[in-house]
Amino acid sequence: MAKTPKRPRDPNQLAKLMVDIATGEAGQPEQSANGKRASKAGIVGGPARAKALTPAQRSEIASVAAQARWKKKS
């Protein structure tokens, strides 16, 4: 089910939206084969960073993240 783009208040933007809808270009971001958005930075960067870190560095990062998640609210 395609989500309808929000109708802009500005007449010029509304006119552009109407043209985009008529030509089939209305606000549909491209998706890759795995269902993610067009940016591949996170897909490539995360594993590359994990490969570059030593096990001790990964453990330290995970410990800090766990402490932040379990930190009690005062």
Q: The pTM is what?
A: 0.39
User: How many independent structural domains does the chain possess?
Assistant: 1
Q: Which domain holds residue 63?
A: 41-69
Alpha-carbon torsion (52, 57, 63, 69), positive or negative: negative
Strand partners, 31: 37
Retrieve residue 17's tokens.
């939206």
Can you tell me the mean pLDDT for 15-44? 70
* 47 to 2, 33, 43, 67: CA distances (angstroms): 32, 18, 7, 23
19, part of any domain: no
Can you tell me the mean pLDDT for 3-12? 83
pLDDT in tens, 31-73: 555 555 556 666 788 888 889 999 999 999 999 999 999 987 6
30, part of any domain: no
pLDDT, position 66: 92
Contact 63, 69 (CB under 8 A): no
Query: Is 23's pLDDT higher than 70?
Result: yes
